[in-house]
Chains A and B, each alone.
Chain A
């Protein structure tokens, strides 16, 4: 564990992220019977990238293409009309190019914290159809839930104070793969 500049602590490096995702894929593949269709849907923006990686791993393990989609939950947030921060809510495209009806949907997010994003994501998802089940997979569970929501598949658990933040950096958007606590 390296305490870097500005009290930053790396809790997962690139290798560990890769291992955590492989482990998630293993567990998901083991628990899902062969005759059920599954699909992976990532919550923008980091969940989207993780979902892409996860669906690739699952496709390899299961020997069939596991479709992957992207969900933007901005319109479903519970703080839209009561903004909690000064950052501009930016609506982005939701891209789900397959039918979610009767599929098991693996919903992917980078960090599970209050559970509010997950609630929003589930509301958004059911507007696209009636999945057979929704399972939640997250890279990091940082605890301190505000909603009664738990993940089915967790890459790593950390217990940190409310003043700290977990940041997931991914090569696609942030130059390198790492999970840090600030």
Chain B
């Protein structure tokens, strides 16, 4: 049925840099828009025209399977042209700077830059220096807004709302942009977020975030409605943050044994790629509580919504000039 919307509400952001600066209404507007895009994937012709004639550049300075392909497909389903750009196959390997690369892409008429970069703040830097819309696809340890949006979208799909839900984010919080964006999205939508992991993997300023902190999964597991298992990011870990992989797995891995003590309908999430047997036992990853593939599928409508909305904001802005 017709959804009630505030007539005065106006989406004004031509960049999506993070979820920290978004309010609940804006996050919900993205999710509602994504919901409308869901059916596009079930139609005979899985394409709609709103970004016809627009160019989206997928600039990935770090490896990615899911996010990059998901953005490319989302842009395609909105009829945009997509330029694929990866660090290895580009002039970045010849020493071209981020800004020069982006300016050159812009000179080719790129309207939306989707950027993943190892340095936190890279998307924000770009947004201040180029005219194109900038969408953050993961920057350093800072934010990964579309991942968090698809996470909360998936939870909303399963439970209707996040209000009052107890959500645990487990693992390498310190190096996780997924956790950072997730904390903002989930807490703004009314969930109670608990960060769970060894002290060595907690961010130094964790107490400043709108979260509870626990160093023991077993202590809080039984209360959780949703558990988001983060990947141990070996490529980012410095000095040994835990004595051994086996020990980490013993204390913080989600195993079949642990699942027996969790709520029977607990939602098990993972942003991928999974280290099977480390943070997540295979039987749990593929079990009935797991929504991991649903998360991937939901990435598509969520990213369509984001690309659609930033483009709308840019169109409105150029009109008012």
Interface, chain A (partner B; CB < 8 A): 44-45, 48, 72, 74-76, 80-83, 86-95, 123, 127-129, 173
Contacts and interface: CB of A to CB of B under 8 A. Distances in A.
A81 B315 contact: yes
A90 B48 contact: no
A75 B5 contact: no
Contacts of A94: 36, 39
19 contacts: A48-B2, A72-B36, A75-B49, A80-B50, A80-B312, A86-B10, A86-B316, A88-B5, A88-B312, A90-B32, A91-B36, A91-B37, A93-B36, A93-B38, A94-B36, A127-B44, A127-B48, A128-B45, A173-B2
Contacts of B43: 127-128
Task: Indicate the member of A48, A90, A91 with the most B CB atoms within 10 Å.
Answer: A91
B2 A92 contact: yes
B33 A91 contact: yes
B35 A90 contact: no
B3 interface: yes
Contacts of B48: 75-76, 127
Interface string B68-96: 00000000000000000000000000000
Interface string B20-38: 0000000000001101111
Contacts of A80: 50, 312, 315
Given A72-B36, A80-B312, A83-B316, A92 B47 contact: no
A87 B7 CA distance: 7
Nearest to A101: B44
A82 B50 CA distance: 11
Given A75-B50, A86-B10, A91-B308, 19 more contacts: A76-B49, A80-B315, A81-B50, A81-B53, A83-B315, A83-B316, A83-B319, A87-B7, A88-B5, A88-B11, A91-B36, A93-B35, A93-B39, A123-B49, A127-B43, A127-B45, A127-B47, A128-B44, A129-B44
B38 A89 contact: no
B9 interface: yes
B149 to A, nearest CB: 15
A73 to B, nearest CB: 10
Contacts of A90: 5, 32-33
A65 B56 CA distance: 45
A128 B39 CA distance: 11
Contacts of A91: 33, 36-37, 305, 308
A80 B2 CA distance: 21
5 residue pairs, one from A and one from B, having the closest CB atoms = A91-B36, A127-B45, A75-B48, A81-B315, A93-B36
Contacts of B9: 88
A75 B316 CA distance: 16
A110 to B, nearest CB: 13
A72 B312 CA distance: 17
Contacts of B2: 44-45, 48, 92, 173
A39 to B, nearest CB: 16
Task: Indicate the member of B3, B11, B48, B311 with the most A CB atoms within 10 Å.
Answer: B48
A134 to B, nearest CB: 16
A90 B309 CA distance: 10
A68 to B, nearest CB: 13
A75 B32 CA distance: 15
B3 to A, nearest CB: 6
A95 B308 contact: no
A116 to B, nearest CB: 14
Contacts of B10: 86, 88
